[in-house]
Amino acid sequence: MSRPKRTTRPKKPLRDVRAVILAGGRGTRFWPLGRADKPKQFLQIAGRATMIEETVRRIRPLVPLRKVTTVADAVQTRRVRKLFPALPAANMIVEPVARNTGPALALATARIWLDNPEAVVVALPADHLIKDEKRFLRKLGSAVEMSARAGAMVIFGIPPTYPATGYGYIRFERERPRTCGREAFYPVRAFKEKPSVELADEFLAAGDCAWNSGMFVWTAETFARQAEACAPALFSFWKKAVEALRSGNRGRLRAAFEGAPALSIDYALMEKAQGVLVAEGDFGWSDIGAWSSLLEVWPRDRDGNAARGELAALDSRGCLVWNPGRLTALVGVRNLIVVDTKDALLVCDADLDQKVKVLVEALSRERGRKKLV
């Protein structure tokens, strides 16, 4: 007796979910492991693989690889190709010139829009860490659904834990939640990029603020509609991009991209768009802003030291060591970042690791040292 074949019907409509991974970020904060041509997303510093691989792996239950699009410059796209040999070449968008995230996301969304205007785009930085992946996926699924149903753009807002001055804040209307399944979404009231510490304190006290995670959800159609209604400069680029993509003319695409406003997606669109919703990103998010962030991520020994590579510590506490394949010995030191690579060694106070950037800028101005950046 043969089993009867079952035909299953989805209870809710199957969404065409696409991911756009912003893989083009540059950064010098993880020097000397990270270099100008090898920024954070290509480093294996949090998780079992590079951050971009982790980003793609994490969303796989919702977005298969063939529905992933990456945006980066030519050099970084080469790295992407190496890391994801199964990723279709057409899915790797090469930015002709750097124009910040606004044009990059508009172009990627335009390509998806040409394919399916109903497709839901999940836009994600390639270099963020998420500890509670199950929760993240559930929330992301809800955001996809909410975005599709309401025709709204959704931003993941991170519950702030301290009055950070380096992040963008989103104020939202906590008293007017909209729900989708178990998740609540809140209308955005205002954006505030990098506030003063006094203002950040106020935001935290008010309890109606979140950090802008840079993770967004929108349908391609909604993106186009909002750009048309609220962001003329971006929409002008959008139209040119759509034309260029339709014609397959690379020169036109490049010209359009070069003429696009170099603005972040926040400035270019999100701050102007109507009906934007905030989803609470309470899933152990970190943008791993500098070496010391990893002290919260890597397992630590009983003295609070965390190391990649062998560690022998004597009277030493709170240190982070990157020195795989070799022994690092610490004697009587506290709160240090130690990063050893083939051609450069960094020893840095963990509280001052933001200054690594300053150091690297200085190196890049020095003749014989440029090659080390």
Chain residues in the site for its own copies (CB under 8 A): 31-32, 310, 312, 314-315, 323, 326-333, 336, 338, 340, 343-349, 351-353, 355-356, 358-359, 362-363, 369, 372
**Beta-sheet pairing, 154-158 with 209-219:** antiparallel
Tell me the closest approach of the beta carbon of residue 300 to its own copies, in angstroms.
17
Copy the structure tokens of residue 160: 């702030």
Query: Which CB sits closer to its own copies, 154 or 339?
Result: 339
Tell me the closest approach of the beta carbon of residue 36 to its own copies, in angstroms.
15
Query: Which CB sits closer to its own copies, 173 or 315?
Result: 315
Query: Which CB sits closer to its own copies, 176 or 370?
Result: 370
**Half-sphere exposure (CA, 13 Å, Cβ side) for 318?**
10
> Are the C-beta atoms of residues 133 and 39 closer than 8 Å to each other?
no
Tell me the closest approach of the beta carbon of residue 304 to its own copies, in angstroms.
16
Query: Which CB sits closer to its own copies, 253 or 321?
Result: 321
Query: Which CB sits closer to its own copies, 230 or 333?
Result: 333
Copy the structure tokens of residue 240: 């040119």
Tell me the closest approach of the beta carbon of residue 38 to its own copies, in angstroms.
17
Task: Round to whole Å and give the CA distance between 102 and 122.
Answer: 14
Cα 240 to Cα 24, 186, 247: the distances in Å are 22, 33, 10
CA 229 to chain centre: 26
> Are the C-beta atoms of residues 214 and 167 closer than 8 Å to each other?
no
Task: Round to whole Å and give the CA distance between 104 and 228.
Answer: 17
Tell me the closest approach of the beta carbon of residue 339 to its own copies, in angstroms.
9
Tell me the closest approach of the beta carbon of residue 317 to its own copies, in angstroms.
12
Copy the structure tokens of residue 120: 């839901």
Query: Which CB sits closer to its own copies, 258 or 366?
Result: 366
